Amino acid sequence: MEFTGDIRIWVLLVSLILQSCHGFYLPGSYPHKYVTGDPLSVKVNSITSIDTEMPFSYYSLPFCKPQEGVKDSAENLGELLMGDRIENSPYRFKMYTNETEILLCKSDPLSKDSFDLLKKRIDEMYQVNLILDNLPTIRYTKKDGYVLRWTGYPIGVKYQEAYYVFNHLKFTVLIHKYEEANVARVMGTGDAAEVIPTRVDEGSDIPGYMVVGFEVVPCSVMHDANTKNLKMYGKYPKPIKCDSNIVSMPIKEGQPIVFTYEVTFDVSDIKWPSRWDAYLKMEGSKVHWFSILNSLMVITFLAGIVLVIFLRTVRRDLTRYEELDKEAQAQMNEELSGWKLVVGDVFRAPSSAGLLCIMVGDGVQILGMAVVTILFAALGFMSPASRGNLITGMLFFYMILGVAAGYVAVRLWRTVGCGDHKGWVSIAWKVACFFPGIAFLILTTLNFLLWGSHSTGAIPFSLFVILLLLWFCISVPLTLFGGYLGAKAPHIEYPVRTNQIPREIPAQKYPSWLLVLGAGTLPFGTLFIELFFIMSSIWMGRVYYVFGFLLIVMILLVVVCAEVSLVLTYMHLCVEDWKWWWKSFFASGSVAIYIFLYSINYLVFDLRNLSGPVSATLYLGYSLFMVLAIMLATGTVGFLSSFWFVHYLFSSVKLD
C-alpha cells in the first residue's frame, strides 16, 4: 500500500512537471482562448498617484460596485507588499461583442465626505487601474505631435475651479485569432518551437480569440440623473458622444453620478508574445540605451587601466624582491618601506570585529539575492506580466541564502579569532537579525504612516505575522545552519605572524577616510544612468523590463567595487596604515552615500510634485532601506576582495 502511494505521488509530480513544461512561456502566462460570446472578467487594482505614492482601494471612492459584491482576487506575497489590491469590477464584456451606451449604475447622492474625498483625489492626480486578461488598461494621448502611453486613466480633472469626473469609459479590446495548430509557432522560435507540445482541446474547430490589447478613452459626459426605470447593464436612452477633449460632468455635493461605458472589439495583427510591447516601449529609449552603453564602456576602460597599472606595480615589486639572494633580501629587509613595514600588523584584528563579520555575512546574503533574482528576471521568469513575482522571488532567495550568510560570517569570525570556535552561535544569530531587524524597524514605522492614511500600501497585520514566521521559522534556522557549517570548516590561516605590540601609524598628509568616501564615485558612475530607470519604475509608475542590462551593470558594479577597494587598500598599506579592514569595506560601500544623494536629487527635481510630509517620509524611508542594502552588498565585495589581495600579497613573499 505504501508502495502504491509512492507511485501516485511520483505520477502526480511528473504530471505537474509536464504540465508546467507544456505551459512554459517567457514572459507571461499561457494564452487563453475565448469563444465569441464568452464573458471576459475585468478587474480593478488600487488607484495610484505619483504625487502621493500612496495607493488606495478602488472602492474607497463612490464608484459602481458589482452586483455579486466586491471580492478579492488571489494575490501573491509580492503583490500585497507592493500595495496591489486586485478586486472584481462591475464591467462586463463578451468576447467579440460590441456594446454601446451601457448603463453601469447611478451612485448615491454625494455626501460632503465623499465629495471632498473625490475632489482631493482629483487634485492629487489619482489614476484608475483596470486589468483584463492580466493586461493593464492603457491610454494614449497626443502632445506636441508625440503619442504618449499611460497605464490607467485619471479619476477626473479640475477646470476653472470646477471638478469634473470621467463617468463614461470607451473601451477597445484588441483580439487576435487563436490558431490551435500553430500554438508551438506562437510559443517559441527556432529549435524551441519543436519541443513545445501542442494541445488539442474539445471543440477546437470553434474559432477562438486571444486578448492582445486593452485600451480606454475616459470621457466626462453630462447624463440625465433620472434613471429610475433603468437597470444595471441596461441601454442608456440617449446617444453618448465620447470626446476626451471636452468635460461636461461636474461633481456637486448632494447630486448623484451616472456611470456608463461602451466596448469595441478590434481584430489586431499583434501576436500573443508581443502584447506587452505597448507597455514596455519607453520614449527616447535609444538615447537612454546609448548613454548606458557609453557609460559602461568608459567605466570598463578606466577600471581596466587602474587594474593593469596596479597589477604591474605589485607584480614588479614582488618579482624584484624574489630575484635577490638571501643576503640582499636581508639587507633589503633592513631598508623596508611601504607595505612591507606593516607585515606584523596587517592581520591584526580590527576594532568591532564581530560587527564587521555580521555586516559581511548580511552583505553576502543581499548580494547573492540580487544576483540570482536579476538573473532569473533576465531569463524572463519574473516578467512584468507576472505581477508581484519579483518581490516574492527576492524574499525566497534571501531566505535560502541565509545559509551562505551564516557560513561566511562565522568562518570570518573564526579566522579573525585564529580558529577560536567560541561565540559562533551569537554571530550567526546576529547575522540573522541585523539587517532584517533594521528593515523591520523601518518598514514598521512607514507602515504606521500608511495605516494612518488608510492606504492599501499598508501591510496587513496577517501579512506581518506571515513575514515574522518566514523570518524566524525559515531564515533564522537556515542562517544558524550556515553558521554551524562555518564553525566546522577550517579557518583561513594567516601567512605571517602578528606582533604583540601594534605599530604606530605615521601621520598622514590628508585624512584617510576622505579618500575612502571619495572612492564611491567610481562605482556610482557605473550605475547612475540605470538608477534613473529603476527610480522611474518604482516612483513614476513605469514598467521596468531591461533586466538583461541590469545584470550587466550588476556584474560591472561588482568588478569595479573590487578594484576600487584593492587600490585603496594598497595605497593605505604603502603609507604604513595597517587598519585596512573597515576602510576596504567602506571604500566600495561608500557608493551608497552617492545613491542616497541621488535619491534626494530625484525627489527635488523629478518628484517635485510629491505632496505632503507623509509622502516625502515614505520616499526617504524606502530610499534609506535601499541604500542600507546596497552599502552592505557593495561593502562586502570590497572587503572580501581586499582580504584576498592582502592574504595573497603577504603569502607571496616571506618577511621576518
Mean pLDDT of 217-229: 83
Residue 24 has pLDDT above 50, yes or no: no
pLDDT at position 547: 84
Residue 239 has pLDDT above 60, yes or no: yes
- Banded model confidence at residue 73, pLDDT cuts 50, 70, 90: confident
**Contact of 176 with 209, CB cutoff 8 Å:** yes
pLDDT at position 28: 44
Residue 354 has pLDDT above 80, yes or no: yes
Q: How many CB atoms are closer than 10 A to CB 101?
A: 15
pLDDT at position 548: 80
**Range picked from 265-274, 458-467, 623-632 for highest mean pLDDT:** 623-632
What is the Cα Rg of the chain in Å?
A: 31
More confident residue, 187 or 258: 258
pLDDT at position 300: 75
- Residue-wise pLDDT for 522-573, tens only, equals 889 888 878 888 888 888 877 777 788 788 889 888 988 998 898 888 888 8
pLDDT at position 287: 52
Mean pLDDT of 329-341: 56
Which grid coordinates belong to 280? 514596455
DSSP label at 235? Answer: B
Residue 637 has pLDDT above 90, yes or no: yes
pLDDT at position 150: 87
Residue 136 has pLDDT above 90, yes or no: yes
Residue 86 has pLDDT above 80, yes or no: yes
The helix/strand/coil state of 319 is helix
**Contact of 90 with 65, CB cutoff 8 Å:** yes
Residue 108's Cβ-count burial label (10 Å; 0-12, 13-18, 19+) is: exposed
Mean pLDDT of 624-631: 96
More confident residue, 312 or 394: 394
- Residue-wise pLDDT for 380-432, tens only, equals 787 777 778 889 999 999 999 999 999 999 999 999 987 677 889 999 999 99
pLDDT at position 224: 79
Which grid coordinates belong to 14? 511528473
Mean pLDDT of 104-118: 93
**Contact of 100 with 262, CB cutoff 8 Å:** yes
Residue 619 has pLDDT above 60, yes or no: yes
pLDDT at position 25: 40
pLDDT at position 475: 95
More confident residue, 578 or 165: 165
Which grid coordinates belong to 74? 488571489
Residue 318 has pLDDT above 70, yes or no: no
Residue 304 has pLDDT above 90, yes or no: no
pLDDT at position 144: 76
**Contact of 288 with 533, CB cutoff 8 Å:** yes
pLDDT at position 432: 96
Write down the mean pLDDT value for the chain: 83
- Banded model confidence at residue 648, pLDDT cuts 50, 70, 90: confident
Residue 260 has pLDDT above 50, yes or no: yes
- Torsion-angle region of residue 12: left (phi > 0), alpha (psi -120 to 50) or beta? alpha
Across 128-142, 363-377, 461-475, 598-612, least confident range: 598-612
Instruction: Return contacts of 185-194, CB within 8 angstroms, 24+ apart.
Output: 186/31, 186/271, 186/272, 186/273, 187/25, 187/273
Residue 141 has pLDDT above 60, yes or no: yes
Mean pLDDT of 70-87: 85
- Banded model confidence at residue 274, pLDDT cuts 50, 70, 90: confident
Q: Percent helix, strand, coil in the chain (nearest 5)?
A: 50, 15, 35
Residue 192 has pLDDT above 90, yes or no: no
For 25-89, what is the HEC assignment? Answer: CCCCCCCCCEECCCEEEEEECCEECCCCCCCECHHHCCCCCCCCCCCECCCCHHHHHHCCCCEEE
Q: Measured in Å, how far apart are the chain's first and last C-alpha atoms?
A: 72
Residue 638 has pLDDT above 50, yes or no: yes
Residue 19 has pLDDT above 50, yes or no: no
pLDDT at position 288: 54
What is the residue type of 179? E
- Banded model confidence at residue 313, pLDDT cuts 50, 70, 90: low
